[in-house]
């Protein structure tokens, strides 16, 4: 069975060949490999060897990295993936131990604060491996600095790093670790005396726990904000309403979904534009529309969700993580309403845009499984996608 990264390499070879306006036969005539092998590599049935990649790159006059792409978390084995996460877990475990006795070369607070922002940017760009590799040292240094020279901004940065650890762990399929990271985020938010960060932490908890406690967490978040009217407070309050809509959708209460979506829309109007600078929430009308779509999918209103999905226009400035999530949601509702080709098209686009995130989204597996079920003879592309998600 081909590995996911080889499947991806085959897809990139096909894409670059088509850009060069060559048929498979024409490309095979330019390399010391058979047409049959090239065809199998492009459709994902065979792995792409280093020699074949080198030969194709030379024939197409492109850098080999265009064919292989960056090493991604999606291509890691479970053991290697776990090894990537273990240092994060160890850094989280030392949260209350004070200054690190053997730590040297600690970066200045201003550098650490910017590094915390950069880790958030990496996650939003779906560069999960880069964020995961940076987090352990960042958390250790921020913990040390918060113990030796505490300031509000350092505690805020530490809370942000914990939030990023939560996002990474959740996207990579480690919900237990994501819960630990959220607990640490709340601990740091208390020390920063920042009600908005505390409310964001409660929103994240409400989405994660999936039980009757969720609405209480949302209410507590609103309580922390105390009706604040700053742009920051309005954006966080709006995000809390989106969280409540998600919880209501899981409970199958459409009236509550409508109420909270309407409240979020009103707050998005007050915020004006997308509040991307507010704790990396990117709260705005697009985010409201995405949550409305997600609620319809959760309540299995696939016809209504399809109308919403087709009407939703993602702006070019939208975060990669949000664009990928939209494409997976679109693929799911296209599949549920019987539009096989459109569904597969959006899955391929999502994988190309954000392979690390797309592979771990539950909607991806659901859409692929549904397509395999309703397809009499799965296409090579669908077969490749099925292997990629582990079906």
Domain range list for the chain: 4-68, 76-188, 194-299, 320-391
Look at residues 284, 346, 344, 286 and name the one whose alpha carbon lies nearest to residue 313: 286
The strand pairing partners of 283, in sequence order, are 275
Q: What is the 3-state secondary structure (H, E, C) of the chain?
A: CCCHHHHHHHHHHHHHHHHCCCCHHHHHCCCCCCHHHHHHHHHCCCCCCHHHHHHHHHHHCCCCHHHHCCCCHHHCCHHHHHHHHHHHHHHHHCCCCCCCCCCCCCCCHHHHHHHHHHHHHHHHCCCHHHHHHHHHHHHHHHHHHHHHCCCHHHHHHHHHHHHHHHHHHHHCCCHHHHHHHHHHHHHHHHHHCCHHHHHHHHHHHHHHHCCCHHHHHHHHHHHHHCCCCCHHHHHHHHHHHHHHHHHHHHCCCHHHHHHHHHHHHHHHHHHCCCECCCCCCCECHHHHHHHHHHHHHHCCCHHHHHHHHHHCCCCCCCCHHHHHHHHHHHHHHHHHCCCHHHHHHHHHHHHHHCHHHHHHCHHHHHHHHHHHHHCCCCCHHHHHHHHHHCC
Look at residues 205, 190, 213, 188 and name the one whose alpha carbon lies nearest to residue 239: 205
Interior/surface letters 206-218, b for 16+ CB within 10 angstroms, e for the rest:
bbeeeeeebbebb
CB 166 within 8 A of CB 184: no
* Residue 93, pLDDT score: 94
CB 239 within 8 A of CB 222: no
Name the token pair of 147.
Answer: 């113990």
User: From 1.10.760.10, 3.40.50.720, 1.10.260.40, 3.10.20.90, which CATH number describes the 4-68 domain?
Assistant: 1.10.260.40
DSSP secondary structure, 65-120, as one string: HHHH----GGGS-HHHHHHHHHHHHHHHHTTTS-S-TT--SPPPHHHHHHHHHHHH
- Side-chain-side CA neighbours of 341 within 13 Å: the count stands at 0
pLDDT-flagged residues of the chain (< 70): 1-8, 19, 69-77, 276-277, 391
Q: Which residue has the tokens 């109007």?
A: 269
pLDDT per residue over 205-258, tens digit each?
998 887 788 989 999 999 999 888 898 999 999 999 999 999 999 999 999 999
* Residue 1, pLDDT score: 30
* Residue 21, pLDDT score: 78
């Amino acid at each position: 069975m081909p590995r996911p990264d080889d499947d991806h390499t085959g897809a990139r070879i096909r894409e670059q060949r088509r850009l060069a306006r060559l048929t498979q036969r024409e490309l095979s005539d330019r390399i010391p490999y058979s047409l049959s092998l090239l065809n199998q590599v492009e459709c994902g049935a065979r792995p792409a060897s280093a020699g074949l990649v080198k030969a194709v790159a030379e024939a197409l006059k492109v850098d080999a990295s265009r064919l292989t792409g960056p090493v991604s978390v999606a291509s890691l084995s479970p053991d290697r993936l776990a090894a990537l996460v273990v240092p994060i877990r160890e850094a989280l475990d030392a949260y209350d131990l004070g200054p690190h006795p053997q730590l040297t070369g600690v970066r200045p607070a201003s550098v650490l604060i910017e590094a915390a922002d950069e880790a958030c940017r990496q996650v939003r760009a779906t560069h999960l491996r880069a964020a995961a590799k940076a987090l352990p040292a960042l958390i250790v240094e921020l913990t040390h600095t918060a113990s030796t020279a505490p300031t509000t901004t350092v505690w805020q940065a530490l809370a942000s790093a914990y939030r990023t650890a939560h996002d990474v762990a959740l996207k990579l399929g480690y919900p237990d670790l994501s819960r630990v990271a959220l607990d640490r985020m709340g601990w740091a938010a208390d020390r920063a005396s920042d009600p908005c960060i505390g409310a964001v932490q409660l929103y994240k908890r409400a989405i994660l726990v999936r039980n009757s406690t969720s609405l209480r967490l949302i209410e507590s978040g609103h309580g922390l904000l105390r009706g604040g009217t700053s742009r920051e407070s309005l954006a966080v309050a709006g995000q809390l309403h989106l969280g409540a809509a998600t919880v209501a959708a899981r409970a199958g209460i459409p009236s509550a979904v409508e109420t909270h979506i309407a409240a979020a829309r009103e707050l998005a109007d007050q915020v004006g534009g997308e509040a991307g600078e507010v704790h990396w929430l990117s709260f705005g009308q697009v985010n409201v529309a995405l949550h409305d779509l997600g609620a319809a999918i959760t309540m299995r209103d696939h016809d209504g969700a399809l109308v919403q999905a087709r009407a939703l226009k993602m702006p070019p400035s939208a975060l990669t993580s949000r664009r990928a999530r939209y494409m997976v949601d679109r693929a799911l509702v296209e599949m549920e309403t019987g539009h096989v080709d459109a569904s597969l098209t959006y899955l391929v686009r999502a994988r190309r845009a954000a392979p690390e995130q797309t592979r771990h989204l539950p909607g991806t597996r659901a859409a692929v499984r549904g397509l395999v079920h309703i397809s009499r003879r799965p296409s090579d592309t669908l077969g490749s996608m099925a292997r990629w998600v582990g079906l």
